[in-house]
């Protein structure tokens, strides 16, 4: 199942990951996911389960270096020292010497705080605690601040992204700047009752969740579906080796409601 994408810094990243938000006891989910082909886990300090991610990876039987692990620093820690301390704590929690990807969790906090946190992550990369640095919930204007400060650009921007909230301006900016877009809440948190999604699930004999993950992959995003249930974890990854036809992709594309379609905090417009 593992397909990868090459980031702008040359590292490779799987094109599908397991989300672990709202799953404090996620060790079992991580283990099941990895044993069934997942190679990426999307965590965060805010989820309070970095230790559990490390346990699940350790129990999976797959080598650490073959798994791509992400965490994120929350805006409450956006000073240089606060972020550096958070990162060191994350690394200790994981029980591994490094993260493959570490993100600033959102743009909340103002420009100075954002840049201070970002610089700490770049220094964490220089000292080997992180392989790649990225951002989450950033609009183009927030990423342009990084460029204007003369800092290395992020390799990933993780945003809420599904057919109802397609984040077109952010996606367009990231594509132009060689920043890979990770799609969070790609299953619309289980709100599948839309007739188009139901129609396509029937047509392709797939679960609605699989239609949503497949749409994300075909649009070039890196979806991070969350489940705590083994059978769903497995089903959500059975999204390779088949395609949604262009006319049906267009039907899903037509569901976009812009920011109105967001179902999470989606704090991409903060100053």
91 vs 187, which CB is nearer to ligand NAP? 187
Report yes or no: 73 and 121 within 8 Å, Cβ to Cβ.
yes
Answer yes or no: is 142 a known binding residue: no
**Shortest approach of ligand NAP to residue 150 CB, angstroms?**
26
Residue 245, Cβ density class (10 Å: 0-12 exposed, 13-18 middle, ≥19 buried)? exposed
Q: C-alpha distances in angstroms, 189 versus 21, 65, 108, 144, 225? A: 11, 30, 23, 30, 9
**Shortest approach of ligand NAP to residue 143 CB, angstroms?**
15
10 alpha-carbon distance from chain centroid: 18
4 vs 228, which CB is nearer to ligand NAP? 228
Residue 47 is among the residues annotated as catalytic for this protein: yes
**Shortest approach of ligand NAP to residue 88 CB, angstroms?**
21
Which residues would be at the binding site for ligand NAP (CB under 6 A)?
Answer: 19-21, 42, 105, 136-137, 158, 184-190, 207, 209, 224-229, 232, 235-236, 264
**Shortest approach of ligand NAP to residue 80 CB, angstroms?**
22
Residue of closest CB approach to ligand NAP: 19
Residues 6+ apart with CB under 8 A from 247: none
55 vs 161, which CB is nearer to ligand NAP? 161
Catalytic residue selected from 21, 38, 46, 47: 47
- Please state, in angstroms and rounded to a whole number, the distance separating the CA atoms of residues 233 and 2: 15
**The two structure tokens encoding residue 257:** 């409601």
Helix (H) or strand (E) holding 184: strand 180-184
**Shortest approach of ligand NAP to residue 115 CB, angstroms?**
19
The dihedral formed by the CA atoms of 262, 266, 269 and 270, expressed in degrees to the nearest 10: 150
24 vs 81, which CB is nearer to ligand NAP? 24
Count of beta carbons in the 10 Å neighbourhood of residue 97: 10
Q: Which three-class secondary structure state does DSSP give residue 219?
A: coil
Residue ranges for the known binding site for substrate are: 105
Residue ranges for the known binding site are: 105
Give me the active site residues, please: 47
């Amino acid at each position: 199942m593992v397909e990868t994408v090459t980031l702008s810094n040359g590292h490779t990243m799987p094109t599908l990951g397991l989300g672990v938000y709202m799953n404090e006891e996620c060790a079992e989910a991580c283990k099941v996911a990895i044993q069934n082909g997942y190679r990426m886990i999307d965590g965060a300090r805010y989820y309070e389960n970095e230790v559990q991610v490390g346990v699940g990876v350790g129990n999976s039987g797959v080598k650490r270096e073959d798994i791509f692990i992400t965490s994120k620093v929350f805006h409450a820690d956006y000073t240089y020292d606060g972020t550096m301390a958070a990162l060191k704590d994350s690394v200790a929690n994981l029980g591994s010497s490094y993260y493959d990807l570490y993100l600033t969790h959102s743009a909340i906090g103002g420009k100075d705080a954002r840049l201070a946190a970002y610089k700490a992550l770049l220094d964490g990369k220089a000292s080997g605690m992180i392989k790649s640095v990225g951002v989450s919930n950033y609009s183009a204007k927030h990423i342009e601040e990084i460029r204007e400060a003369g800092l290395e650009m992020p390799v990933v921007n993780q945003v809420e992204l599904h057919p109802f909230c397609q984040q077109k301006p952010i996606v367009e900016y990231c594509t132009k700047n060689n920043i890979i877009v990770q799609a969070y809440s790609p299953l619309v948190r289980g709100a599948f009752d839309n007739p188009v999604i139901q129609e396509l699930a029937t047509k392709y004999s797939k679960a609605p969740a699989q239609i949503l993950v497949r749409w994300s992959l075909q649009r070039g995003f890196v979806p991070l579906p969350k489940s705590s249930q083994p059978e769903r974890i497995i089903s959500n990854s059975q999204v390779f080796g088949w395609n949604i036809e262009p006319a049906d992709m267009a039907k899903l594309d037509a569901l976009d409601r812009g920011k109105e379609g967001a179902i999470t905090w989606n704090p991409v417009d903060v100053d």
